[in-house]
């Protein structure tokens, strides 16, 4: 993303060149996923016609809509038995409990209490350590050092890993692939969005985008919502942008929304008008070269 690409060494402090590169790449990816290219910004306005795929009051054991795959995957290396041949989008409210969602949200709240963007969108990436602070990012682990062990616990990280595994199994089952062929990929991160005016381009999370285009490693994208639409925040619905009528998912704590990452699932997030919206984006790739490890509490 335009402004994310000019991050200085001052704003991203890492002990080694490899770690600096990883952190910067994660930030760029998260910016792309949150902001999306302006190419799509004119599509799918808040006042457009929408059909609701999942209402906030519903408790869905599972809803899956198959859509034709785009050609985006053809320009990337294919992995038989994993790379999308069946494309679509799914929603479930029975994989992650509301209690688990509340506990996961507390991890985000604790981490983001150390910083936070001056604009409306903040990110926390436990893998690379990327944390929004003002108009920039820092490496959480390097910048705060041993203080981190007083903020998080091993139980926090274990819960995060357990939730990731449940989401991974859900995606594998829905698309008829082996969970072992899916690899966690970056950026995977918490997001906190409120109605504060955007200060930089990476605060502009509401532009429509395609994950496979903006970040090529993505094959399957998921979001775990950690707060409730109309109870905790207004606006902020997830929108699949389509001709005729957009398809909308209303967040509720514990709801998992997942989809193949190509142009068949062009999407955006409505602007948050009030309150605070929490979610965690968890992305998977079929390419082991693009895989990342779970975060480890040390």
Active site residues: 277
**DSSP character at residue 202:** G
For residue 126, the Cα-to-chain-centroid distance in whole angstroms is 13
61-100: burial string, b at 16+ Cβ within 10 Å, e else:
eeeeeebebbebbeebeebeebbbeebbbbbbbebbeeeb
Residue with tokens 């983001």: 112
Q: What three-state secondary structure class fits 194?
A: strand
Whether the CB-CB separation of 258 and 171 falls below 8 Å is answered with yes
Quick check: 132 and 6 in contact, CB under 8 A?
no
H or E segment and range at residue 137: strand 136-139
Can you tell me whether residue 20 is helix, strand or coil? helix
Q: Which helix (H) or strand (E) holds 234?
A: strand 233-235
Closest CA to 27 of 50, 5, 51: 5
Helix (H) or strand (E) holding 101: helix 98-112
């Amino acid at each position: 993303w335009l402004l994310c690409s000019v991050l200085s060494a001052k704003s991203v402090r890492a002990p080694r060149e490899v770690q600096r590169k990883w952190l910067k790449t994660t930030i760029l990816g998260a910016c792309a996923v949150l902001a999306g290219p302006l190419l799509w910004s004119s599509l799918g306005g808040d006042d457009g016609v929408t059909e609701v795929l999942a209402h906030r009051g519903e408790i869905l054991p599972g809803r899956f809509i198959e859509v034709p795959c785009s050609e985006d995957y053809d320009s990337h290396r294919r992995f038989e038995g994993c790379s999308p041949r069946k494309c679509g989008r799914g929603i479930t409210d029975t994989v992650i409990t509301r209690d688990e969602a509340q506990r996961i949200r507390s991890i985000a709240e604790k981490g983001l209490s150390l910083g936070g963007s001056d604009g409306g969108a903040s990110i926390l990436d436990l893998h690379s350590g990327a944390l929004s602070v003002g108009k920039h990012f820092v490496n959480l682990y390097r910048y705060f050092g041993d203080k981190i062990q007083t903020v998080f616990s091993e139980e926090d990280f274990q819960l995060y890993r357990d939730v990731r595994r449940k989401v991974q199994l859900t995606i594998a089952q829905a698309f008829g692939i082996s969970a072992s062929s899916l690899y966690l990929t970056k950026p995977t991160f918490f997001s906190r969005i409120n109605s504060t005016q955007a200060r930089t381009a990476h605060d502009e999370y509401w532009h429509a985008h395609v994950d496979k285009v903006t970040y090529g490693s993505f094959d399957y994208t998921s979001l775990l919502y950690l707060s409730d639409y109309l109870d905790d925040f207004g606006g902020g619905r997830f929108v699949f942008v389509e001709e005729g009528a957009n398809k909308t998912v209303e967040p509720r704590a514990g709801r998992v929304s997942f989809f193949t990452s190509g142009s068949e699932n062009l999407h955006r997030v409505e602007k948050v008008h009030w309150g605070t919206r929490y979610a965690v984006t968890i992305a998977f790739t079929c390419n082991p070269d693009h895989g990342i490890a779970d975060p480890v509490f040390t």
